[in-house]
Amino acid sequence: MDVKRTVVFGGTFDPFTLGHLRIVEQALSFADEVVVAVCENSQKRPTLSADVRVELITRVVAPLPFVRVEECVGLLTAFCKAESIRVAVRGIRSAAHFEEEQVMAEINRRLYPELVTVMIPTAPELAHISSSAVREIARHGGDLRGWVPDVILEDIARAYRA
């Protein structure tokens, strides 16, 4: 019996970056399907609505087979249970980032014991990229080439410009 290996990549993606895209591409190397779950976080106030973020990410991943983008309302673990997903992937930029993600993985495991978190190290050439850095660069009219996918570059520049 073949079981489809679906993984989730959850985040606020405010905005989606080249680093995020690389994680999706790497996840496809071991998964049959990647679900990009656009989540809300009560500790963050996204600039763009979840609907707009879903639309932008959908444009980015359109050329990739077996990737879908969904809005995640509530806890990621509840989303995973509802979708019968048992693997979450996370990108790791640094040792400090690993420790934060390790804590979150344990919280998720306690909420949904079947959920395994796979941490994917960020490619060194992308390790400097973060959504917060992109927001700051965009607010000041900086060049976002090399930070966000070209297909959404102008949308991101407009949306986050001060």
Tell me phi and psi for residue 36, to 5 degrees.
-90, 110
**44 catalytic, yes or no?**
yes
Contact 5, 33 (CB under 8 A): yes
Contact 58, 86 (CB under 8 A): no
Which listed residue (44, 128, 139, 161) is catalytic? 44
**93 catalytic, yes or no?**
yes
Apex 108 CA angle, 147 and 22, nearest 5: 20
Name, in order, each residue with C-beta under 8 angstroms of 151's C-beta and a sequence gap of 6 or more: 59, 60
Nearest to 35 by CA among 2, 72, 75: 72
**131 catalytic, yes or no?**
yes
What is the layout of strands, in order, in the sheet containing 6-11? 67-72, 33-39, 6-11, 87-92, 116-121
Instruction: List residues with catalytic annotation.
Output: 20, 44, 93, 131
